[in-house]
Chain A
Amino acid sequence: MAMTPQTETPPPPYLGRSVRIVGPVSNVDMNQTPHPRNSRGELGKALFNWYRNTISRDPLTRVSAPNHFADQRNFLAALVNQAPKGKVNHQRVAVSDPAAMTRHIKAVAHHMGADVVTVARAHPSFLYAASAPPKDSAARDVYQNRSGDVYQGRTPEQMAEQYPYIIVATTAWDYDKLQAHRHYIGDAAYHVSQMKAQMILKALEGYIKELGYSALRGMSNPQAAGLASGVGELGRNGLLIHRKFGARIHMPDPIMTDLPLVPDQPVDNGVEDFCKICRKCAINCPTNSVPFGDKVVFNGVEKYKINWLTCYKIRPYVDAHWGSCLTCATVCPFTKPNVWWRSLTVWALSTCPIPARPLLVRALKAIDDRFWGTTRQTRVRWLGYDSGVKPGEQACTVAGCTAVHGTAHAAEPVGNLGYYAPLKENTNRFVKRDV
């Protein structure tokens, strides 16, 4: 087929009820997203030093979190993402039935340990702009894994035509440990499953190349592909909310491919109706980065838009006690264990006629507030960690431990409440809420 210089732009894709494309969307330059900007020092000294020059005092964070390691060789995701790319197999496996191949790829990803696998139809507006990430590893973000100049002079329209499918494969993080978010326990839940997702995607990318098809990384915006393929709907907190896992899923870099597949469709889990009423994440956000108001149009997309800069700016201040905030993901009423009563509730909500949903949502929100509380402060003990111990205090609360610890111990904490740093008081230094 002769490549015409200007391919026609396809109509805007349907992304479900939560996000609507209303105007022209310009392709986002990956190098202008928060982490790469910060690694170039454009967000100020405090954030730059937090990102590039901080070694965590927690051993588990040093092996699982990007950029807070003492030695990068102990961090698996950096190793996997910076490994050389394999070649595409010359002997292509013929695909007679794309539906069978789609089932196969999903079974493969689940076999490797992925929790969620979907396939999106690629659209030019999902793609990142052509500029490649910097070559040297110092200025490069760990999670930027595009290999050189993949566009090679092609337009996003031509790319989406040539590689028509995007495979979104991801893991969910652990519910019980997430309850101790704003603590190293919650960090562990987040970062370990993130590393696992990176490894699974690398292996899946290699497998598609072994089948004889291209697999491009660092091409597509994961949230756009996730919305189009029905991973979930976009919530008020700016996170994709999945039917089974709620907001506790990662959105790592998906795989763009020319393997013939059958794309999935956007879903309706009732997130749209819930977010209109709930606002739990906005109330709990320590920096008021989650909007209380309506959706806005940004870059031609109508959605709830969080203030990423204020969300980002809190990190150097809390670095001594935890790495990932995760408050908006934890308090979200959709973030619940994947059990029958949860499936029943989401089923009831998503089958309810849309005009009747606000009533049901109010009832569910009241139940959620009553049983799970308006904020989450469960005490979680895991390994030697205890979220009931105030950060900075020393106390060994491990049952059966008779070791003599070096530092003087504070009084043993009592009760079943986790220690929840009262960050809201400090909010004004980040952003003033306009009520």
Chain B
Amino acid sequence: MALRSSWLKVPWRRAERRRHDPYWDFFINTPPADRANSVLDVIRKAPEGNVFPTRADLHTPEVTTTHVKEMARYLGADLVGITRLDNDDAGHPFAVVCAVRADDDPREAPGIGGQVPVQNGLFVTFVLSAWIRELGFRASAAVSADAARLAFAAKLGTLDRTGKLVTAEYGTRVHVADVIRTDLPLVPA
């Protein structure tokens, strides 16, 4: 979580320790034999909860935006941005895009360890979208093909030639979590 202090961390220690770990490759690269042993499907396939019938007393859209971003960071997102959606199917005007640091690219590492960034991203997007629904506004988190493009629109970074997000903070070692589409009044970046 966000509790660890990082100012004294030696950058090469972690990689060094992992090179001596005989099981680390299994953790990162071997896909689970039983999908039920991973929490990803459990969270992704869960039905969406209800929107709370009473809307919470909100502050201005600017303040709400800082609150949403602060909440996402507290839940473990490393980067968070908001962008306007032009033609959303469900008519949601805004998208909240969260990105988490990824030591291994989840698209190339199918193991439980390689999917840890996805797991962290799902934790953020599930709780954040549930929170927005409990505030009384619609919000749905779903896998979307244009996540990287929306992250670019939310000014998290730029896209490289292959359409991957490149950020100033983590380079390409970043995973864009599910996009939350919402009608909570926000201010896009």
Cα distance A41–B168 in the bound complex, in angstroms: 55
A-facing residues in B25-69 (Cβ within 8 Å): 26-27, 30, 32-39, 42-43, 46-50, 52, 56-60, 62-63, 67
Cα distance A100–B74 in the bound complex, in angstroms: 33
Q: Which residue of B lies closest to A89 (CB)?
A: B33
Does A22 lie at the interface of the complex (its beta carbon under 8 Å from any beta carbon of B)? no
B119 contacts which chain A residues (CB < 8 A)?
A: 112, 199, 203
Does B10 lie at the interface of the complex (its beta carbon under 8 Å from any beta carbon of A)? no
B148 contacts which chain A residues (CB < 8 A)?
A: none
Does A346 lie at the interface of the complex (its beta carbon under 8 Å from any beta carbon of B)? no
Does B81 lie at the interface of the complex (its beta carbon under 8 Å from any beta carbon of A)? no
With A86-B36, A400-B62 known as contacts, the answer to whether A338 contacts B112 (CB < 8 A) is no
With A172-B3, A199-B123, A383-B71 known as contacts, the answer to whether A401 contacts B21 (CB < 8 A) is no
Size category, B interface: 35 or more
Count chain B CB atoms within 10 A of each CB in A75, A79, A115 and give the residue with the most: A79
Does A179 lie at the interface of the complex (its beta carbon under 8 Å from any beta carbon of B)? no
Contact indicator B57/A193 (Cβ below 8 Å): no
Q: Smallest CB–CB gap between A293 and chain B, Å?
A: 35
Q: Smallest CB–CB gap between A64 and chain B, Å?
A: 7
- Of the listed stretches A101-109, A320-328, A364-372, A418-426, name the one at the interface; the rest are far from the partner chain: A101-109
Contact indicator B18/A107 (Cβ below 8 Å): yes
With A83-B39, A209-B34 known as contacts, the answer to whether A398 contacts B47 (CB < 8 A) is no
Contact indicator B21/A86 (Cβ below 8 Å): no
Size category, A interface: 35 or more
Does B142 lie at the interface of the complex (its beta carbon under 8 Å from any beta carbon of A)? no
A76 contacts which chain B residues (CB < 8 A)?
A: 43, 123, 126-127, 130
Cα distance A363–B5 in the bound complex, in angstroms: 28
B34 contacts which chain A residues (CB < 8 A)?
A: 86-87, 89, 209-210
- Name the one of A84, A103, A396 contacting B36, with C-beta atoms under 8 angstroms: A84
Q: Which residue of A lies closest to B133 (CB)?
A: A74
Cα distance A89–B35 in the bound complex, in angstroms: 11
Contact indicator B130/A74 (Cβ below 8 Å): yes
Q: Which residue of A lies closest to B131 (CB)?
A: A63
Interface set of B (CB-CB < 8 Å, partner A): 1-5, 17-18, 21-24, 26-27, 30, 32-39, 42-43, 46-50, 52, 56-60, 62-63, 67, 70-71, 74-76, 103, 112-113, 116, 119-120, 123, 126-127, 130-131, 133-136
